[in-house]
Structure 1
Amino acid sequence: MASNYYVSHVRYNSDETHIQHLKVFEVGAEGKFSSGKPVEMTRPQAVEKIKAGSKFTTIIQKADKSWQTGAQLEIMPVETEYLKTKKDKSTRDNLESLPTF
């Protein structure tokens, strides 16, 4: 069974043209974090996990320290495989609003 993940932060390449790394929490029972600490994952690792059936959803920590889920990531094939969130009513990609690390 594929694991699911919450993405809390992203790191771009040196040219800031695409995401290079993600900080992710594995989703446990009832949608809760299965561990207290996020792990770092490369974009290719996330792409492979999505292809294998995993789901990645953005998550943002609010001022009161609670977490709010955002949009689900999808693979966008171009010259390379990019990650972005699924289309919603926003004109921006939700990944762009995540903090960088």
Structure 2
Amino acid sequence: MFTTVKAFEGQQYSTLKRQCLQSGLLFEDPRFPTFDNSLFYQGNRIGRVVWKRPRELCEDPHLFVDGISAHDLHQGQLGNCWFVAACSSLASRESLWQK
């Protein structure tokens, strides 16, 4: 179905991963900085946002356990319904999610 992956603004996962491993630093996306304006379209309406990495929330974090389902994804207050809808669609086809 898909033969090539188009990098977003030149970001290549394998390159970014290699750079993080070599430097010993965790990835910080310069195109998605940890500021409120990265999350909200028209200002923060929910209050103070504390940015955390998964390991700051639990000892052994997993994005999905025992596969993924369209029911695993829920819309929050960030205005990212387009992203949740896309992930939900991909979740219905395991092979597409893996790509």
Q: Give the number of the structure whose residues are more often strand, by fraction.
A: 1
Higher relative contact order, chain-length normalized (CA < 8 Å, sep 6+): 1
Between Structure 1 and Structure 2, the one with more helix by share is 2
What's the TM-score, normalizing by structure 2? 0.22
Instruction: Give the TM-score normalised by the residue count of structure 1.
Output: 0.22
